[in-house]
Amino acid sequence: KSFPVSASSSLLVLFVRALFDYNPEEDPTVPCKEAAVGFRRGDVLQIVSLEDETWWQARHHGDGQSRAGLIPSQQLHERAIYFLPDNYRSGLCVQRKCQFMKYTTKITLILIGVGVSELKKRLLISDPDRYAVTVPYTTRERRQQETDAVDYHFVPLHKFEEGILHHRFIEYGRYKGHYYGSSLDSVNRVLADGKVCLLDMHPSNIKCVYTAEYRPFVVFLKPPRIEELRLTRRRAKFICEEEDKNPREYGYMFDKVLVNGDIAVAFRELKSAVLRMTEAEVQWIPMEWVCPSPATARRSCSHLTGWI
């Protein structure tokens, strides 16, 4: 079956980029296999209808001859993977993304994985007027050679704990009886200066800044093959299970994946990726940053035309 689309039915033109593979021939829940549309991760689909909560209607973007058909909605996909074991569920993460005209060049660049400290250092040296890092907070006493708001933000214990209570810290911990942490306030200061804020963190903490306010561009630095690692760094133990889990568990938030085998090559690729992103006329962003939910997308964005 095919689904004709009337151009006058709605002003909404919504596109999504798939973050998982879908083959209707392997889906026992699809109402009609002939009416469904298959896709692969990375494909761009034009959403024709969001009326049904479980089965949307979509067509492949860029192919004028393609018919519209059924695809599983976000709700149906999440319901299906809820009952899967964790090791399968993590690889099926999905997040709707849409295209939106660029509204700012200020971003938060998040680096995750292998060798992020060295890459962050190289970015800072290469262009200090463009890149900056946050100044951490601590509850310990300031040392004689240290400057407040330069080396650390020195705050009393009750202020730090108040920040924890109000979820103002991206990451924090205790060392020798004192708190240390990275605050959202420090990120805001860097962005207010018009610079790209560089962060390296555990992927489980990305969601703290995964909002339209901070517009993160997330880069995962994956380790090279074990043979290459032995030749380049002679540190085979550098690869661990944690690095293997990251793409499966948090991959839906990664905008770019680079292999950090040769640090010079990885640095060039990283700078190039950031430059392309900041200069692009159109960017992919999570749909939740524009519309609160697929159920309300048509109502809240119905006045828009073109790319959302």
Do the Cβ atoms of 183 and 170 come closer than 8 Å? Answer: yes
The CATH topology of domain 134-193 is: Guanylate Kinase phosphate binding domain (3.30.63)
Residue 307 is predicted with a pLDDT of 35
3-state SS, one letter per residue, for 237-287: HHCCHHHHHHHHHHHHHCCEEEECCCHHHHHHHHHHHHHHHHHCCEEEEEH
Which sequence spans correspond to the domains of the chain?
14-100+287-301, 103-130+195-280, 134-193
Each residue's pLDDT tens digit, 243-255: 555 566 777 788 8
CB-based contacts of 181: which residues, under 8 Å, 6+ apart?
Answer: 136, 137, 138, 160, 163, 164, 169, 170, 171, 172, 173
Residue 258 is predicted with a pLDDT of 93
Correct CATH for 103-130+195-280 of 3.40.50.1260, 3.40.50.300, 3.60.15.10, 1.10.10.10:
3.40.50.300
The CATH topology of domain 14-100+287-301 is: SH3 type barrels. (2.30.30)
pLDDT in tens, the chain (308 residues): 233 444 444 455 778 888 778 899 988 888 999 999 999 877 888 888 888 888 999 999 877 667 899 998 876 665 554 444 444 344 334 444 444 444 455 689 999 998 999 999 999 999 999 999 999 999 999 999 999 999 999 999 999 999 999 999 999 999 999 999 999 999 999 999 999 999 999 998 998 999 888 989 999 998 887 645 554 554 444 444 445 555 667 777 888 899 998 999 999 999 999 988 887 766 777 767 765 554 444 443 333 333 33
Residue 110 is predicted with a pLDDT of 97
Residue 86 is predicted with a pLDDT of 46
Whole-prediction pTM? 0.70
Residue 53 is predicted with a pLDDT of 84
Closest CA to 196 of 258, 122, 109: 109
The phi-psi region of residue 177 (left if phi > 0; otherwise alpha if psi is between -120 and 50; otherwise beta) is: left
- What is d(CA 6, CA 9) in angstroms, rounded to the nearest whole number? 5
